[in-house]
């Protein structure tokens, strides 16, 4: 089955975000109401992205890069908030 670049991009994004191919396949089935790609396909897309930064020669990874930046920003913000809360507690 041929998958669109957006579907491949989502698979790579979900796999990196969750760390589990099984969760990625479930989310794919729920999102697209169709059979998920094979394990080997998803692993090949992830490896291709990690080595070249591309999927099948297309530079369609803007969504993934933006998602990674948002995740880093969220982690940084939540860490700052937790440190601020701990600092306030130690003062009291």
Number of residues written out for the chain: 92
pLDDT score, position 55: 76
Give φ, ψ of 28 to 5 degrees: -60, -50
Burial of 28 (0-12, 13-18, 19+ CB in 10 A): buried
What's CA 31's distance to the chain center, in Å? 15
Give me the tens of pLDDT residue by residue for the chain, a chain 92 residues long: 789 989 999 999 999 999 999 999 999 999 999 999 999 999 999 998 888 888 765 554 455 555 555 555 555 554 454 455 455 544 44
pLDDT score, position 31: 95
| C-beta of residue 26 within 8 angstroms of C-beta of residue 16 | no
pLDDT score, position 42: 93
pLDDT score, position 57: 59
pTM for the complete prediction? 0.59
């Amino acid at each position: 089955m041929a998958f669109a670049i957006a579907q491949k991009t989502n698979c790579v994004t979900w796999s990196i975000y969750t760390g589990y191919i099984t969760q990625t396949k479930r989310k794919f089935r729920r999102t697209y109401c169709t059979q998920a790609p094979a394990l080997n396909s998803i692993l090949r897309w992830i490896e291709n992205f990690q080595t070249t930064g591309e999927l099948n020669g297309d530079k369609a990874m803007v969504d993934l890069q933006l998602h990674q930046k948002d995740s880093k920003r969220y982690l940084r913000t939540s860490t700052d908030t937790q440190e601020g809360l701990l600092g306030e507690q130690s003062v009291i």
